Structure 1
């Protein structure tokens, strides 16, 4: 298995819909939150744009819902880079319920690296590429 970053989050009542399970968009919110922590762990603070080599825009979000979860469930979210291209990268994620290891969701974010002045795609900075290269997520 390749290196991944993971955190466990608890589904709050406000994360659920009127049917009592987690609202579909919140799967992406959970994945994005853990992805942000992963980037901080790697040394990139994307919240301080003036100290960045470029912007990173999410151009596409994809999620396959496999099973529902409910308020109070603990959800393990794993993220890792699956692909690093010339001007973009794909960050994959998977989610499982801690209590029974049920697969809940899996998906990806397509990220585009963008020049801060022109707002056009630019090459992935070498410092970023070096930190992310060789990291992938196991697809189950």
Structure 2
């Protein structure tokens, strides 16, 4: 599923985050790397909602290594603005998954950035890839319906 097609559809999860002054660069807009931080944090919130406990690593069923990030930067937002981040799993493999994200200006709906994050699920001790933990995979499929490709 292309990112453009995802952008026109509704994402399974959405959250807002305030742009703090410290999130900006010397030009006064959100520092480019922080778009990825926002996307990653919102993905973690979604994973928690699906039962993975990403924001509590000691309670999560595995580690997750981010192995690839693709991001198209489209527009800027300044300090005190609010970003609405929308995320969803677009592909589930055996041990890896792709999360699509869309960041928008919450006040204007202008698209700020869009992209994907590729995650690999890893055994904490061996650091080798493992199957995506159940019931996490089941929860994704149940929540997202036809949105995800296996």
Fold shared by both chains (TM-score > 0.5): yes
Q: CA-to-partner distance for each residue in 1:3-35, whole Å, 9 max, x for gaps?
A: 511111111111111111110000011111111
* Contact preservation (8 Å) 1:97, 1:103: yes
Query: What residue number does 1:109 align with?
Result: 117
Higher helix share: 2
Matched, 1:87 2:132: no
CA drift of 1:96 comes to 0.8
Gaps of 5+ in 1: none
- Indicate the RMSD between aligned Cα atoms, in angstroms: 1.8
1:1-140 residue pairs with structure 2 within 5 A?
1=9, 3-133=11-141, 135=144, 136=147
Q: Give CA deviations for 1:50-88 in whole Å, capped at 9, x if unaligned.
A: 443322111112211011111111111001111100110
Deviation of residue 125 (structure 1)? 2.0
Alpha-carbon distance change, 17 to 50 in structure 1, aligned in 2, over 3 angstroms: closer
TM-score, normalization: structure 2? 0.83
Question: Which structure 2 residue ranges, 5 or more long, are not aligned?
Answer: 1-8
Count of aligned residue pairs for this structure pair: 137
1:47 positional shift: 4.2
**TM-score, normalised on structure 1?**
0.88
